[in-house]
């Protein structure tokens, strides 16, 4: 059975490849604009931004176990979002995905 081609899938996948990838995906989605790519760019941008914010915060008050928890949460959210992009699904990442869609409305 042939898999349906989703417009903007490559851009959505690139968004999950580091924070720089998310920024590149934002510029890739300027013309033409794809709803699937926009959804995943917001999710990926939020995951990466949240990770870096917590990493900066935790570097001030170093706690080895806190960093382990941070990396586990980051990888779990990243993996969940990345698999959804690969499988052509528009599912929010657990707990914080809906906030990313609200906060990052500047990503068109």
* Cα 48–chain centre separation: 6
Per-residue pLDDT at 92 = 94
Question: What radius of gyration do the chain's Cα atoms show?
Answer: 14
Tally DSSP H helices, then E strands, for the chain.
5, 0
Q: Residue 78's pLDDT band (boundaries 50, 70, 90)?
A: very high
The pLDDT tens digits for 32-68 are 899 999 999 999 999 999 999 998 888 777 778 888 8
Q: What is the pTM of this model?
A: 0.88
How far apart (Å, rounded) are the C-alpha atoms in residues 78 and 59?
A: 21
Per-residue pLDDT at 32 = 87
- Asked if the model's pLDDT at residue 23 lies above 50, the reply is yes
């Amino acid at each position: 059975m042939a898999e349906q081609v989703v417009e903007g899938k490559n851009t959505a996948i690139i968004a999950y490849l580091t924070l720089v990838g998310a920024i590149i995906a934002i510029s890739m989605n300027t013309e033409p604009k794809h709803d699937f790519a926009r959804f995943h760019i917001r999710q990926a941008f939020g995951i990466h931004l949240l990770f870096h914010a917590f990493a900066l915060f935790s570097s001030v008050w170093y706690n080895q176990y806190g960093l382990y928890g941070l990396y586990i949460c980051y990888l779990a959210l990243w993996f969940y979002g990345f698999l959804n992009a690969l499988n052509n699904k528009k599912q929010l990442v657990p707990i914080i995905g809906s906030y990313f869609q609200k906060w990052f409305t500047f990503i068109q």
